[in-house]
Amino acid sequence: MPKYVYDFAEGNKDLKDLLGGKGANLAEMTNLGLPVPPGFTITTEACRAYLLSGTQPEGLEAEITTHLAALEAKMGKRLGQSDDPLLVSVRSGAKHSMPGMMETVLNIGLNDQSVRGLAAQSGSERFAFDSYRRLIQMYGKTVLGIDGEHFAHVLDEAKRAKDTTNDLDLDAEDLRKLVETFKEVIVEHAGRPFPQEPREQMDLAIRAVFESWNTDRAVIYRRQERIPTDLGTAVNVCSMVFGNLGMDSGTGVAFTRDSASGAQGIYGDYLQNAQGEDVVAGIRNTMQLGDLEKIDEKSYHQLLQIMQTLEEHYRDLCDIEFTIERGKLWMLQTRVGKRTAAAAFRIALQLTDQGLITMDEAVSRVSGAQLAHLMFPRFDDSVGRAHGAQRIAVGIAASPGAAVGKVVFDSYTAVKWSRSGESVILVRRETNPDDLNGMIAAAGILTSRGGKTSHAAVVARGMGKTCVCGVEAIDVDTKKRILRASSHGKAIEIHEGDVISIDGTSGEVFLGEVPVVASPVVRYFEGDEDALQDELVAAVDRVMRHADGTRRMSVRANADTPEDAARARRFGAQGIGLCRTEHMFLGERRVLVERLILADTDAEREGALAELLPLQRDDFTGILEAMDGLPVTIRLLDPPLHEFLPDITELSVRVAVAEARGEPRENDLRLLQAVHQMHEQNPMLGLRGVRLGVVIPGLFQMQSRAILEAAAARINAGGVPRVEIMVPLVANVQEFETVKLDIIQVARDVRAETGVHLEFLIGTMIELPRAALTADQIAEPAEFFSFGTNDLTQTTWGFSRDDVEGAFFSAYLEKGIFGISPFESIDVDGVGELIRIAVEKGRSRRPSLKLGVCGEHGGDPDSVHFFEKVGLDYVSCSPFRVPIARLEAGRSVVPD
Ligand code: ADP
Ligand code: MG
Ligand code: MG
């Protein structure tokens, strides 16, 4: 039988899978000799067993009994003992911290008798009844599932009766009455009385924690954070310490560094005479951690000492929950803290410079997603903030970034509007876990209450979402859907749908749209040396250098124009992995394409192609020049030709109108016939890619000629063009061979005509399952493969992206059929397996085969790690994502 329960002294920080993050770190702190109230942890394995069967696994109850008995012996009192009760908290704690996701019940063991014992022992009746009312409240909400509003309402009434908003103004008698009313609330809403038996309280709370793993908001959070659904949560049973014993007691949170900037210092909040979540729930105004020194110097200095110990021990930013009970400091939680993207980079380098971590570790501690976040535009300082927008308030800068959007007051509207493409700012008095969906959908979050550690702030930072919180100068009326503020002494009302801008770096809130500028990190990538003055940019620079020096794969860009190619190169691209040619058939060139399609005779067709040739040659010359010396993979025309023809309805109308006027237009008529003729039921699976090259005489030859003539011209101009001609949508080797022969003939001709010796590669895209499965055959004539993972995903799954994303993806994501869209991150088991097979088969026939990927997955962090694993030579992605791919390619080879 597995061991289901571990004493805090038995675990350690590396047992997160089994003990959850909270339990593992409580154990670690216990073993470091820090003052942690004794307790034990029930494993995630027990939770999984419980969730599978719906009952406690065999042996769990007995094990809990043994550990509880040991705890009671240690503390010298029994759980709920009438004259001197041992009280415990039952706390959830999964492997990954899920802030506010799962609930905790404090003060378990109190009942109508033991509350008197607690009063006598502590000498404070007020404290005893305050603890009891908290227990009933939390128990009712968490274990019995009663809407917390019912309790909050009663509490508010009690305060109102005393004409106060401060819970400290309630005296023992008020709290005793509150306990009675709370008990009535329980009977009314749960249909049963509050359980008086301490062990029953504990057992039911443990069960409730197990079950909280599957609440909607936990499921949503996991999906957002890509946390697996089957891990389960551990449960910690921890003896209580009391911050609500008077003004010499209190509870607080602390960070070893500023989680928004990374700066070292004293960061945190403290609240006197309070318990548990009070400090983050914003019930009273907290004091800054630094001020604790004035109230309780001894505890303050001990806390600073512990913070340093923890940071050196974890070698990272830690966040901490602590409680002071009548002058004695207790540690209740620590973990490696969440941080903003900017802080992640700064901290990684600061720790490196302090000698705590290596550069490899520094690289592994930042992510491509964080780098992407740093590349978002900022509000433009220089044009004056008030430019067209007026500043209406300043709050707490909780999570950096600039967000502009329409005001919405609830999650539902946030989701609905953002689905229809609107950028929205979710405005709430404060957020709670039920707002999660809206927070995910919103561009930014604005609250009128709560500090840097409020739910909104913590969750927003975790998501990398812009957030301004605690804007006390605004009044949020979610019922009337109005945000009231004042500007230049004048009261203003902002309604749902009005545009506001929020700055998560300064805390400013603007009415209207504030213009944005490129981030300094982007300016650095663009080659602006001055940007390096900025500490953050310098940190990014060092991380990027190390990643570049470490990675095995190279990184190329998907770029179709000389401008894109040049930018990609500045961003560190080592070539072009995909240069599409379809845009070269658009605009004024459409007429030529129409002539090509309508050609009745060889001469007409050749005429059209001959006119396209010099235009394309110029396009290629520009791109090869921008990428001089680096490989450029050019894809021959891929989309179906009818995509270049006018829209069928538009054309029909034109023809009909002309006929009605009695002046029929010959050309339009022919065009309409052609459009009808070429119409396809499933264009994605129709006449496109290599199939065009096979059936449209001269088309691929013209393109190849344009490419090779451009290369010859570059050589004559002293350049070093490295051309790779890529044939799309190949399914079988004969298709490829047919086209390849044509290209080789063209190359011979161009060599003869120009006298320039040309070297280039001819390869193919692998974007059909058949191509992957016959990759050994295709590798014989093909010199390189480039995985077109967008089409490969479509053809493997048998759905077209444009048709399905709107139709059923959200249902699939909701039901957990997809963890994440296979268009966003490579489907390792299916599409990934085809890639693996193609790599293996291709290399077996041609060991020198060059392998890359040019689908959008080339810039997706998780996918990049997969491509490293299967041994591709390079990834290619959009120019803007090149730095992200460089970083992730580096991270994919440094040890974790
Ligand atoms: P969360 O995961 O939401 O942080 P916790 O289990 O840490 O939940 O508990 C919620 C609050 O209760 C925290 O402020 C925590 O410090 C406090 N708390 C938990 N256990 C105890 C205890 N044994 N004594 C005093 N306070 C506690
Ligand atoms: Mg906690
Ligand atoms: Mg394709």
Output the six-digit token pair for 755: 């006298």
Q: Residue 761 C-alpha to ligand 2 middle, in angstroms? A: 59
Share of the chain above pLDDT 70, in %: 98
Nearest-angstrom CA–CA distance, 784 and 548: 24
The pLDDT of residue 462 is 66
Closest CA to 345 of 319, 312, 375, 377: 375
Exposure string of 512-538, with b = 16+ CB inside 10 Å and e = fewer, is: bebbeebbbbbbbbeeeeebeebbbbb
Q: pLDDT band for 275, please (50, 70, 90 cuts).
A: very high
Q: pLDDT band for 827, please (50, 70, 90 cuts).
A: very high
Number of alpha carbons in the 13 Å side-chain half-sphere of residue 149: 2
454 in helix, strand or coil? coil
Mean pLDDT of 473-496: 90
Closest C-alpha residue for ligand 1 atom 18 = 276
The pLDDT of residue 432 is 83
Mean pLDDT of 350-368: 96
pLDDT tens sequence across 194-203:
999 999 999 9
In the predicted structure, residue 98 carries a pLDDT above the cut 90: no
Nearest-angstrom CA–CA distance, 697 and 679: 20
pLDDT tens sequence across 631-654:
999 999 999 888 888 888 888 888
Nearest-angstrom CA–CA distance, 408 and 482: 9
Residues with Cβ within 8 Å of 388's Cβ and at least 6 positions away in sequence, in order, are 512, 513, 514, 515
- What rounded mean pLDDT belongs to the chain? 92
Mean pLDDT of 723-731: 98
The pLDDT of residue 102 is 63
Share of the chain above pLDDT 90, in %: 73
**Of the given ranges (226-240, 319-333, 770-784), which has the lowest mean pLDDT?**
226-240
Q: Who wins on pLDDT, 479 or 36?
A: 36
Mean pLDDT of 476-493: 89
In the predicted structure, residue 220 carries a pLDDT above the cut 90: no
The pLDDT of residue 786 is 98
Mutate to test the pocket of ligand 1, among 86, 92, 104 (most ligand atoms within 8 A of CB): 104
Residue type at 223?
R
Output the six-digit token pair for 369: 């997603």
The pLDDT of residue 612 is 94
Q: Who wins on pLDDT, 197 or 382?
A: 197
Q: How large is the greatest C-alpha to C-alpha distance in the chain, in angstroms? A: 107
Residues with Cβ within 8 Å of 744's Cβ and at least 6 positions away in sequence, in order, are 762
In the predicted structure, residue 302 carries a pLDDT above the cut 80: yes
The pLDDT of residue 857 is 94
- Cα–Cα distances (Å) from 456 to 105, 292, 438, 453, in that order, read 22, 25, 11, 8
Q: Catalytic annotation on 47?
A: no
Annotated catalytic residue, options 579, 854, 857, 877:
854
Q: pLDDT band for 435, please (50, 70, 90 cuts).
A: confident
Nearest ligand 1 atom, CA 37: 23
What ligand has the least distance to the C-alpha of 239?
1
Nearest-angstrom CA–CA distance, 322 and 329: 7
pLDDT tens sequence across 840-858:
999 999 999 999 999 889 9
Q: Residue 91 C-alpha to ligand 1 middle, in angstroms? A: 7
In the predicted structure, residue 486 carries a pLDDT above the cut 90: no
Q: Catalytic annotation on 854?
A: yes
289 burial level (CB within 10 Å; 0-12, 13-18, 19+): buried
89 C-beta closer than 6 A to ligand 1? yes
In the predicted structure, residue 263 carries a pLDDT above the cut 90: no
Beta bridge partners of 432: none
Q: Are 85 and 239 in contact (CB under 8 A)?
A: no
Q: If you write DSSP's letter for every residue of 499-545 in order, what string do you get?
A: EEEEETTT-EEEESPPPEE--HHHHHHTT-GGGGGSHHHHHHHHHHH
**Of the given ranges (216-230, 642-656, 817-831), which has the lowest mean pLDDT?**
216-230
The pLDDT of residue 279 is 83
The pLDDT of residue 385 is 52
Output the six-digit token pair for 233: 């949560």
Annotated catalytic residue, options 455, 546, 642, 857:
455
The pLDDT of residue 388 is 67
In the predicted structure, residue 498 carries a pLDDT above the cut 90: yes
Element (H, E) at 393: strand 390-394
In the predicted structure, residue 613 carries a pLDDT above the cut 80: yes
Residues with Cβ within 8 Å of 528's Cβ and at least 6 positions away in sequence, in order, are none
Q: Residue 277 C-alpha to ligand 1 middle, in angstroms? A: 7
144-148 — which CB contacts under 8 Å span 24+ positions? 144/186, 144/189, 144/190, 145/190, 146/185, 146/186, 146/189, 146/190, 147/189
Q: Residue 129 C-alpha to ligand 2 middle, in angstroms? A: 23
Q: Who wins on pLDDT, 668 or 18?
A: 18
Mean pLDDT of 402-407: 94
Q: Residue 322 C-alpha to ligand 2 middle, in angstroms? A: 9
Mean pLDDT of 415-432: 92
The pLDDT of residue 671 is 84
Closest C-alpha residue for ligand 1 atom 23 = 240
In the predicted structure, residue 391 carries a pLDDT above the cut 60: yes
Output the six-digit token pair for 455: 């739910």
Highest mean pLDDT among 13-27, 364-378, 453-467: 13-27
pLDDT tens sequence across 503-559:
998 899 999 998 888 889 999 999 998 999 999 999 999 999 999 999 999 999 999
What ligand has the least distance to the C-alpha of 332?
1
Q: pLDDT band for 386, please (50, 70, 90 cuts).
A: low
The pLDDT of residue 768 is 98
Q: Who wins on pLDDT, 262 or 185?
A: 185
In the predicted structure, residue 577 carries a pLDDT above the cut 90: yes
